[in-house]
Amino acid sequence: MTKVKICGVRDVATMQLCASLGVDWVGFVFHPASPRYVLPEQARRLHESVSGGLAPSRVGLFVKADDKTIEHTLQTVPLNVLQIYDSVERAKEIRSRFGLPVWLARGVKSASDLPVRAEVNGYVIEAPRQDGDDRPGGLGRTFDWALTQEWKAPVFWMLAGGLTPSNVQNAIDASSAPAVDVSSGVESRVGEKSHKLIEQFIEKVRIRG
């Protein structure tokens, strides 16, 4: 079954909904430029609001963060995975420094942009950043999903960028993605998650299988 990550969770009710729906991962955004930004203390409250075997794994999203920022966050809230927007070299440093799985975000414009080496634990494949963007993700922008169809991925990966309940089935079919990551596509307005849209998204993914 295709796995699901709901990114940019900011409130307890949404966190608890994700747990009840069996979401695989929830993402906490620790990037101040994002409308989905949370402080480590807020993320800890979200973390503490669910427990047990069905609780989603927690992914912390960091953009060009220094060690001090990541260390403070980890001292405040337990995270299972670090999702990094930075260079491959920096992502490898972070994995070595903190001993946690690292997913590296990779913007893809053509097949040549797809990773061929297992330099991190996973890749988040999405549309490339464009001039004028104030943040690297959560912009609701898609790319040609068929680029990944024949890709021999070196490690685990997930498809992100512009996914919604109405297009996620087509995205999975076109990309052969083992997991999907959604943020703005399940929001009623920027930064505010819609429970109805999350439920619809999960339903569409599970129908697809």
pLDDT (tens digit, 9 = 90+) per residue, 161-186?
A: 999 999 999 999 999 999 999 999 99
Q: Say if CB 162 and CB 141 are below 8 A apart.
A: yes
Please give the C-alpha separations between residue 7 and each of 67, 88, 110, 155, 193, in angstroms, as whole numbers. Answer: 22, 22, 25, 21, 10
Would you place residue 87 in the very low, low, confident or very high pLDDT band (cuts 50, 70, 90)? very high
Closest Cα to residue 8, out of 135, 121, 116, 110?
135
Q: Is 116 helix (H, G, I), strand (E, B) or coil?
A: coil
pTM score of the predicted model: 0.93
Please write the tens of the pLDDT for every residue from 99-117. 999 999 999 999 999 999 9
